Amino acid sequence: MNKIILIGNGDVGSSYSFSLVTQGLGYEVGIIDIDEKKVAGDVQDLQHGLAYIGPKSVYQATYKDCSNADIVVITAGSAQNPGETRLDLIKKNTLILKEIVYQVSKSGFNGIFLIATNPVDVLTHYVKKITGFPSNKVVGSGTSLDTARLRNALGDKLEVDPRDVQVYVLGEHGDTQFPVWSHANIGGLHLHEWIKIHPNLSIDDLDVIAADVKNAAYDIIDAKGSTHYGIAVSLARITRAILYDENAVLPVSVHLSGEYGFQEVCIGSTAVVNRGGVKEIIEFPLNNNEMTLMRHSINTIKEMQTEIIEHE
């Protein structure tokens, strides 16, 4: 049936539903939000494009509609306001997600949760904890957007199609993320091999590019108030991998069970994603510096989730 229920119709949610419609993903797309008037307007607006795309049902949903959904995507939540800490944000968003997940679970939903609400790694762990769902069925958007940003930045610098740039950002979707340069390649050439024969990229450039990628959200938020198109397309990519049982390798927020030496924590890592959710976590053989960065990123996430979630 390929039924998707979206919960949260703000900038990210509405951009995601638009991505689903334009890419032909999901035969049913139901939208839930406390602002029912806006949902009604968006549904009508989206329906007006269906004649050029193909048959699809787009509608204003209720939590009862989650009962037989394949995927429930949660983008609802508060943004971080000026003067607020990340812990303040977690406190607010755990309360919001707690009520949402309760309503979804009450419907009898047994599909895949896809979480985009920030801080996404902490909240993906939280949803798994309060639902009791198996690890493979609760997935976060993780570093999928950060990876896309990095590939695009490298592609621009190298004048290469970013789809042919193979590099991943791992760790927290936040300030402690890091690129895995040790396994980066362009068209089959290792990144360092490429640098030797292409003078338009240097080792020093890599640090600048990584910093720009990490800070991209701040620049966009300063310019227009929020980031939503990039994450919407990233969510649509994960959705496609699930609905079409692709076994696609994607950098998503996954529940570690010994990988990288940690467990009971979610972090952005490459994983095989298919109809069952996360089929397999791919543990990169990181070099010493990257492993240090990964440990720092995981410990940062664990501190946040311990202060808020584990003490509920």
The residues annotated with a catalytic role in the active site are 173
Q: Which residue has the tokens 């303040």?
A: 88
Maximum Cα–Cα distance for the chain, whole Å?
59
Q: For residue 32, give every residue at least 6 positions away whose Cβ sits within 8 Å of its Cβ, in sequence order, or none.
A: 5, 6, 7, 8, 9, 39, 60, 61, 62, 63, 65
CA 167 vs CA 112, 154, 182, 215, 280: distances in Å: 27, 9, 9, 18, 19
CA 235 vs CA 121, 148, 248: distances in Å: 15, 12, 13
The DSSP code for 58 is E
Q: Which of 70, 82, 69, 58 is nearest to 9 (CA)?
A: 58
Q: Half-sphere exposure of residue 95, counting CA atoms within 13 Å on the CB side? A: 6
CA 68 vs CA 14, 49, 241: distances in Å: 22, 26, 19
Q: Which of 116, 118, 114, 115 is nearest to 89 (CA)?
A: 118
Q: Which two tokens stand for residue 29?
A: 């797309």
Report the length, in residues, of the chain.
312
Q: Which two tokens stand for residue 146?
A: 């950060």
CB 237 within 8 A of CB 244: no
Pairwise CA distance, residues 301 & 295, whole Å: 10
Beta-strand relationship, 189-190 and 185-186: antiparallel
- Looking at this protein, which amino acid is placed at residue 15? S
